Structure 1
């Protein structure tokens, strides 16, 4: 059902622009698949016939390790298919924007970036915050941090200390075979009361050694174990969940509502990580929130190390009352020296304020900065 967002008439877009932008990370980040020192995302700018502007972010990885989408595939989809489709499409509510590309299968990251821009544009035209338009009610979004695999456990403890001291109340540790029970044990012993969870990004199998390590994590009072197996291995997740007290959380396994229904039916987990990019946009992410809650699952808002545009969309989504666990909406200063939005997104004592008093995503894009950074640009009128 549409949120109470009214527009005077159907959106008439006049221009679609896109910018490939790379920002260095303040601290290198390693997962079970690779290590990265910078991120490149695509920023999407929509302008309507009256001169109103909305921004979105395609936050796909550069390499096909998290999903099959990359910055290169998203650039192709955007310039060849999505931009012409949305430019020709008429919609009165951003929930309807996705009909422009309903024949295109997959490519959720690319679609999400354009759809976020549609939401931002519609909200700015209506003088309404994105959080309010989505049905948000929280004044702040509880923030957690995601920490990568470090060279040593001492290096990991230093990172945990830095962010706990900064006020973050939940820490997520990336794990992989060989880097799991020991770092978790040491962090738990050092911080016995810390809300702690782990994320495997699908690095494990049902190999007996892998299963022993995963079952051993049950002893450390974790909030959840995220995506231990490959995306399609829902039956394996269900078998493991039946053996654990700790809830499993699905991420890569669920990028549409049909997959969520299957996971619920199989009892493959008890928690869902909802990422706007992975779900193809805010509209589907909000539906996943509602459907998971109806099934008795907990939900939280994940992230893809977004720049300020995508991060602001995450904050708006995380303002929904059903997000009971801290989300990956930490301040952008954790990742970037300088972000692309003003004011920058900041966390205060582990909470990110929700900008209900400002229209759209609640932050202004530093357009000259974006244009100066762009390694490639695209314009369609």
Structure 2
């Protein structure tokens, strides 16, 4: 379970969820860069709740302060918006700015760069997980394949199609006991549904050589 937090809405909701669901629940929080380093004492109080991670607590362009914060927390820091390339991931790992990385292919420029970040993190023993950005079934299929790589050892937030779309561009992805099956077909493993694609297409252009 992931909770969004911000100054003034953090300790109380986390405490309530932990008390309701118990210590066995994998619980993480996402701050979306809403804190500053002066909030370190309050963020340190989240250590009491045995969180899986705290995601992007500080500004996305400040790896140095994330490294300072990491030394003051027991809770692992995960970087999201700060990581837009393998080079940035390498800098974050070297500085000690994080111990977990969220890889979003759409944010880092595609699947080749996402694979580079995965390989880098795996070589350094840094767990990764795959974040989604409301993709249709086309992007969702590729994300699931990415998340099946061996370095992705933490739960991702790619969900079933029906969470976002009444009708997807591909056959729907359905959760089974919290898991999504990796498509086994050629390419990305799925094909668009022709009738759905036709219905939502607003223009077509053929390019010939």
TM-score normalized with structure 2 length = 0.93
Structure ranking higher on relative contact order (CA contacts 8 Å, 6+ apart): 1
Structure 2: where are the runs of 5+ without partners? none
1:1-381 matches, cutoff 5 A? 171-192=1-22, 193-207=24-38, 210-342=39-171, 344-356=172-184, 358-374=185-201, 376-377=202-203, 379=205, 381=207
CA–CA distance in structure 2, aligned partners of residues 270 and 194 of structure 1: 20
Q: Distance in 2 between matches of 1:269 and 1:309?
A: 31
**2: CA distance between counterparts of 1:367 and 1:246?**
47
The alpha-carbon distance between structure 1 residues 259 and 373, as it changes in their structure 2 partners (threshold 3 A), is same
* Offset of residue 307 of structure 1: 1.4
Contact kept in structure 2, 1:180 and 1:213, CA below 8 Å: no
Give the deviation of 1:328 after TM superposition.
1.5
Say if 2:40 and 2:72, in contact at 8 Å, map to a contact too: no
- Give 1:372 shift: 2.2
Residue 335 of structure 1, CA deviation: 2.1
Q: Deviations over 1:69-122 (max 9, x none)?
A: xxxxxxxxxxxxxxxxxxxxxxxxxxxxxxxxxxxxxxxxxxxxxxxxxxxxxx
Give the CA deviation at 1:354. 1.1
**Structure 2 contact 36–58 (Cα < 8 Å) conserved:** yes
In 2, Cα distance between equivalents of 1:263 and 1:378: 43
Q: Is the 8 A contact 2:141 2:183 kept in 1?
A: no
Secondary structure of the residue aligned to 2:175 is coil
- Over aligned residue pairs, what C-alpha RMSD do you find? 1.4
Q: How many pairs align? A: 206
Mapped partners of 1:177, 1:350: distance in 2: 31
Distance, in Å, in 2 between the alignment partners of 1:377 and 1:236 is 47
The alpha carbon displacement at 1:336 in A equals 2.0
TM-score (norm 1): 0.52
How far off its partner does 1:367 sit?
A: 3.3
Q: Looking at CA atoms only, which structure, 1 or 2, has the larger radius of gyration?
A: 1
Distance 1:283 1:187 in 2: 37
- Specify every segment of 5 or more residues in structure 1 that has no aligned partner in the other structure, as ranges: 1-170
Following TM superposition, the consecutive aligned residue runs of length 4 or more in structure 1 with deviations greater than 6 angstroms are none
